[in-house]
Amino acid sequence: MVDYDRERVARLFDDIARADGGSGDDPGETLTTIPALAGRVAVEKLALRPDDALLDVGTGTGDIAIAAARMCRQVIGIDVSRTSLELARIKSETEHVENVVFSYGAFEDPCAELDLSVYRITKVLAVYSLHHLPDPMKKQSLLELTGLLHRPGRMAIGDIMFFDDPDRHRDRFDEAGYDAGDTDFPSRMQYLRYCLEQTGARVQVEQIHPIVGVIVADF
């Protein structure tokens, strides 16, 4: 297994964003993919309210963040891909969505270029982004993110995760958008649950595919 390399992940997603211009896939198809389903279920489980401030970690080109901004007070999208962030900004301006900001930041350094403590964050979202971190970094990052969360607060993670032996589901990796690449470090679901329970959260898990789940943690 190759070690975690944030710059490498950033370059990978810069290239992907440049290639599709942030437009995503065909909209009809996007609605039905497993990654899109993970995002939709995770956002539903957040139960966003008008007074919520949402932090979207690994926001990519911002589609989920922009949609969420219509449901709450403020959204902050952070990512390590500057190209994705730039496309997200353009998209939010084009759509006249003013209560969303996009800033460089990582799971392991969320406040890299923006002081998030001023936003009074009540909800945290991570869709298909956390699996790019190796396990020990996930634990540390989740702990740090829960420190930014005001109580009562909620976190939802929709991502690739292993519920049993992943080799049993190799024929379904493609549909989950998983290619077992060397920038991917999916965890066992039990490990993610353990990390969140260690922070004192009440945790619920919904499996939506043999290797994809949505975890909700209440604080």
Strand (E) or helix (H) holding 156: strand 154-162
Kindly tell me the burial class for residue 98, based on how many C-beta atoms sit within 10 Å of its own C-beta (0-12, 13-18, 19 or more): exposed
Shortest distance, CB of residue 162 to ligand SAM, whole angstroms?
18
Q: Which of residues 160-189 bind ligand SAM (CB under 6 A)?
A: none
Q: Count of residues binding ligand SAM (CB under 6 A)?
A: 22
Looking only at the bridges linking them, the beta strands covering 212-218 and 154-162 are antiparallel
Q: Which of 68, 133, 155, 192 binds ligand SAM (CB under 6 A)?
A: 133
DSSP state at residue 101: E
Buried b (16+ CB within 10 A) or exposed e, 117-153: eebebbbbbbbbbbbbbeeebbbebbeebbebbeeeb
Closest alpha carbon to 72 in 93, 54, 89: 54
**Stretch in the footprint of ligand SAM (CB under 6 A) among 47-55, 89-97, 126-134, 210-218:** 126-134
| CB nearer ligand SAM, residue 108 or residue 144 | 108
Q: Which of 45, 68, 75, 107 binds ligand SAM (CB under 6 A)?
A: 107
- Fill in the per-residue mask, 53 to 92: x = in contact with ligand SAM (CB under 6 A), - = not in contact: ----xxxx--xx--------------xxx--x--------
Q: Which of 91, 132, 138, 139 binds ligand SAM (CB under 6 A)?
A: 132
Q: Note if the bond before 35 is cis, omega within 30 degrees.
A: no
| CB nearer ligand SAM, residue 14 or residue 203 | 14
Q: Using CB under 6 A, list all residues that contact ligand SAM.
A: 6, 9, 13, 39, 57-60, 63-64, 79-81, 84, 106-108, 127-129, 132-133
